[in-house]
Amino acid sequence: MILLGEHAVVYGRPAVAVPLSGLRATATLTPHPGPFRIQAPAVGIDAPLSELPPDHPLARIVVLTVEHLRRPPPDALLRIESAIPVASGLGSGAAVSTAIVRALAAWHSIPLEPPTVSALVYEVERIYHGTPSGIDNTVIAYERPVYFVRGQPPEPLPVGAPLHLLVADSGIPSQTREVVGDVRRRWEAEPARYEALFDRVAEAVEAARGAIARGDARALGEQMNANHELLREMGVSAPVLDRLVEAARRAGARGAKLSGAGRGGNIVALVEPSSTEEVAEALREAGAACVWRTEIATGVAET
């Protein structure tokens, strides 16, 4: 999940992303006679690999992975299950693709490092998003908070104090590819205005990066609030998202903002442990379809 830096990250500015504990996708391979078969009940798929279009994301990640492993698709059944809502800005597509890559690598007992997993998943992200930033595949493949600049190796992000987050689903799908394309068209029409907005997002990200390292929740919340206002100026928020953000702040959240492409999907709120339930209830009363809790632990991940 992107904590700060949406959209601007596509244009070379930094972003901060964190993994979501408790919301995972799983891919399970079991021996199965006949050709390789894919089952994904959540999206109504139960078919041999050969019957799926070559550009279908599930088929594409399987083919990319077995080509990289230099192995044919095994005689197996691939079953995919995910607790992550689709089209919600939480990286569901990248999480599913990552799970598939790891399942196939484990089947063949060939270990893959996070940069390799991330690169394979990125190719499928292009199907979902058109011009993806690369941040979803990065944070999911590495499974750690990262500071990310497109085209550069991700940096593990030190966390000075635990971050307590609430993620609230608006119940409205976010069409990432469409929203990203709309921002690009606006940037092309008003490059100076949008470059200035992206620069201000970068400033918020850099300030938030320092706040996270220091364990300064107050400063981090301020930057989250500032980032949301910049996303509103870009035209990617929506009344439902603004309503949830405002409800979280009124109930005591340190900061709150939309997360992901926008115009639907989710908001994320930074809370204190003592106010978690109060903020969660306020979000539900404001219309959130679902609210998840997650915590980002302290420490520095090793590179």
Domain of 91 in residue numbering reads as 25-142
pTM: 0.77
Read off the pLDDT of each residue in 12-18 and give the average, rounded to a whole number.
94
pLDDT tens for each residue of 240-256: 999 999 999 999 999 99
The pLDDT of residue 24 is 79
Given a cut of 80, whether residue 80 has pLDDT beyond it is: yes
Read off the pLDDT of each residue in 26-46 and give the average, rounded to a whole number.
93
pLDDT band with cut points at 50, 70 and 90 for residue 303: very low
Q: Are residues 125 and 206 in the same domain?
A: no
Burial zone of 83 (CB within 10 Å; 0-12 exposed, 13-18 middle, 19+ buried): middle
Q: Are residues 166 and 129 in the same domain?
A: no
Q: Are residues 138 and 42 in the same domain?
A: yes
- Tokens for 228, please give them: 């949301």
The pLDDT of residue 177 is 83
Q: Which residue type sits at 121?
A: V
- Kindly report the CATH number assigned to the domain that includes residue 224: 3.30.70.890
DSSP label at 121? H
Closest by CA to 290, choosing from 170, 124, 115, is 170
Q: Are residues 138 and 169 in the same domain?
A: no
Contact (Cβ atoms closer than 8 angstroms) between residue 254 and residue 163: no
Q: Are residues 80 and 107 in the same domain?
A: yes
Asked whether the CA dihedral 71, 76, 82, 88 is positive or negative, the reply is positive
Read off the pLDDT of each residue in 61-74 and give the average, rounded to a whole number.
96
User: Angle at Cα 128 formed by Cα 122 and Cα 134, nearest 5°?
Assistant: 30
- Of 99, 115, 142, the residue that ends a domain is 142
- Of 142, 169, 184, the residue that ends a domain is 142
Q: Considering the domain boundaries, does residue 72 fall inside one? A: yes
User: Angle at Cα 104 formed by Cα 112 and Cα 72, nearest 5°?
Assistant: 110
The pLDDT of residue 120 is 95
Q: Considering the domain boundaries, does residue 32 fall inside one? A: yes
Q: Considering the domain boundaries, does residue 1 fall inside one? A: no
Q: Are residues 215 and 92 in the same domain?
A: no
pLDDT band with cut points at 50, 70 and 90 for residue 302: very low
The pLDDT of residue 34 is 80
- Strand ranges of the sheet holding 290-296, from the earlier edge strand across to the other edge: 255-259, 266-271, 163-169, 290-296
Q: Are residues 138 and 33 in the same domain?
A: yes
The pLDDT of residue 44 is 92
The pLDDT of residue 128 is 72
Given a cut of 80, whether residue 91 has pLDDT beyond it is: no
Q: Are residues 99 and 201 in the same domain?
A: no
The pLDDT of residue 86 is 63
Q: Considering the domain boundaries, does residue 235 fall inside one? A: yes
What average pLDDT does the structure give for the chain?
91
pLDDT band with cut points at 50, 70 and 90 for residue 135: confident
Q: Are residues 49 and 136 in the same domain?
A: yes
Given a cut of 60, whether residue 88 has pLDDT beyond it is: no
Q: Are residues 114 and 233 in the same domain?
A: no
Q: Which of the listed ranges 49-63, 88-102, 117-131, 191-205 does the model predict with the highest average pLDDT? A: 191-205
Given a cut of 70, whether residue 149 has pLDDT beyond it is: yes
User: Angle at Cα 138 formed by Cα 132 and Cα 141, nearest 5°?
Assistant: 130
- Strand ranges of the sheet holding 155-156, from the earlier edge strand across to the other edge: 2-4, 15-17, 146-148, 155-156
Closest by CA to 144, choosing from 124, 117, 114, is 114
Distance CA 182, CA 85 (A): 23
The pLDDT of residue 301 is 42
Q: Are residues 166 and 117 in the same domain?
A: no
pLDDT band with cut points at 50, 70 and 90 for residue 89: low
What is the total count of domains within the chain? 2
pLDDT band with cut points at 50, 70 and 90 for residue 228: very high
Q: Are residues 217 and 137 in the same domain?
A: no
Q: Considering the domain boundaries, does residue 241 fall inside one? A: yes
The pLDDT of residue 71 is 95
Q: Considering the domain boundaries, does residue 151 fall inside one? A: no
**What residues contact 120, with CB distance under 8 A and at least 6 apart?**
61, 64, 65, 68, 97, 101
Q: Which residue type sits at 144?
A: R
Residues noted as catalytic: 136
Q: Considering the domain boundaries, does residue 302 fall inside one? A: no
The pLDDT of residue 125 is 84
- Of 113, 142, 171, the residue that ends a domain is 142
pLDDT band with cut points at 50, 70 and 90 for residue 155: confident
Distance CA 188, CA 182 (A): 10
Distance CA 227, CA 205 (A): 8
- Kindly report the CATH number assigned to the domain that includes residue 98: 3.30.230.10
pLDDT band with cut points at 50, 70 and 90 for residue 141: confident
Contact (Cβ atoms closer than 8 angstroms) between residue 231 and residue 237: yes
Q: Considering the domain boundaries, does residue 5 fall inside one? A: no
Residue with tokens 């206002």: 229
